[in-house]
Amino acid sequence: MTPRLGLVAAPLFELHEKPGHPERPERLREVRAELDRSRLLASFTPVAPRPATRAELLLAHAAAHIDSVAERTSGPPCLLDEDTYSNAHTWPVALQAAGGAADLATAVLRGELDRGLALVRPPGHHATPRATMGFCVFNNVAVAARAAQAAAIAGAPPGTPPPRIAIVDFDVHHGNGTQDIFASDPSVLFVSLHQYPLWPGTGWFTEAGTGPGTGTTLNVPLPPGAGDTALRAAFARLVLPTLRRFRPALLLVSAGWDAHWRDPLAQLQYTLAGQAWLCRELVRAADELCSGRIVMALEGGYDTEVLAHGVANAARALAGLDDIADPLGAGVAGETDASALLDHVEAFVDGGAGAGA
């Protein structure tokens, strides 16, 4: 059966801009051009973005953070923090990014769509409950997860538990904001595959959640140069077993392509083929665990050619297509052996820190 695919994408997401900044509108322009060239857009049903409501933002962010962003983006262009800029369009664009992701996740959880792809910016996974950070204004995936849960239990008897949602983040940088938002929430599993050490300096494997959420955070901090070999081993040994224990009703993916060997901001040395493999495996995991319900939302990726091919490969995976595009092949740096690190993480998880309580 052909999956029903939803796509959040609109020219308005290109209006957030600061000349010379790596998080730039060309990222989406190149992606859309490649999706069009590859004739993949026809597989998706457009889902029009709409602004997230204040109530939705409050599911993931403090009121003071929302008010601060609204106030500071109403003036002339400025830096919201040392890395995150704003212009006259940032406030409405950031609201639409969060609202579009929320609608897509809700539609997939409800069964109105089978799978989804949210091509939104600014990205979100570094935005904490109380602050912008790392190019991110609002945490799109976190707002989407909480909004989908709220919609699922609307009208249900008091005390009805929200459906379990898993978030897998394969951006090269640790999704510290998403981790902070869900650290104590046992209904949301957060899994991050990232380079370590690297900015923002968080994401060591002993960070496993707090209070009732202990065990529902899995960090896989891979060393520079880990490459596709470590990616495949980490997924097989850690990520997939953790997803199986947790058994989510919906799988959300923070999808960043800055772990590719040619990206200028990191050194994890993945290939497009390796990242495409991961996308296909995540779709297979969703098919196995949650009736295929999966939504991928764009995070990082700053080499626009890599990003365009990477997102197209993700779209193929969502559409159930087996072909991939990797015109760049492997880098020349070789791979770092990460097996000892994976042994430590696996021992830690097997020692009682695994998700699925």
pLDDT of the residue at 354: 64
Amino acid identity at 157: P
Tokens of 47: 């889902």
Backbone angles phi, psi at 154, to 5 degrees: -60, 130
pLDDT along the chain (357 residues), means of 10: 94 98 98 97 97 98 98 96 98 98 98 98 98 98 98 95 98 98 98 98 98 98 97 98 98 98 92 98 98 98 97 98 96 93 97 65
How deeply is 68 buried, as exposed, middle or buried, from its count of CB atoms within 10 A (0-12, 13-18, 19+)? middle
Task: Judge contact between 209 and 357, C-beta under 8 A.
Answer: no
Q: 255: which residues sit within 8 A by CB, 6+ positions away?
A: 170, 171, 279, 296, 297, 298, 299, 311, 314
- Is 126 noted as a catalytic residue in this protein? yes
What are 8's strand-pairing partners? 118
What CATH number belongs to 5-353?
A: 3.40.800.20
Hey, how many other C-beta atoms are within 10 angstroms of the C-beta on 327? 8
- Of 192, 244, 233, nearest to 356 by C-alpha is 244
Write down the pTM of the prediction. Answer: 0.97
The CB-based long-range contact list for 32-39 (8 Å cut-off, 24+ gap) reads 32/119, 33/308, 34/308, 34/309, 34/311, 34/312, 35/311, 35/312, 35/315, 38/312, 38/315, 38/325
Q: What residue has token string 């005390």? A: 159
Tokens of 152: 């699922």
Tokens of 29: 């322009």
* Per annotation, catalytic residue among 16, 65, 125, 126: 126
Among positive and negative, which fits the CA dihedral 168, 237, 205, 354? positive
Element (H, E) at 117: strand 115-118
pLDDT of the residue at 357: 46
Distance CA 83, CA 29 (A): 22
Q: Locate all alpha helices (DSSP H) within the chain, ordered by sequence.
A: 26-37, 54-57, 63-72, 90-110, 140-153, 176-182, 227-234, 240-246, 272-289, 304-319, 339-348
Q: Per-residue DSSP letters for 320-345? A: T------TT---SS-----HHHHHHH
Among positive and negative, which fits the CA dihedral 270, 275, 276, 280? positive
Helical axes 140-153 vs 90-110, angle rounded to 10°? 40
pLDDT of the residue at 334: 87
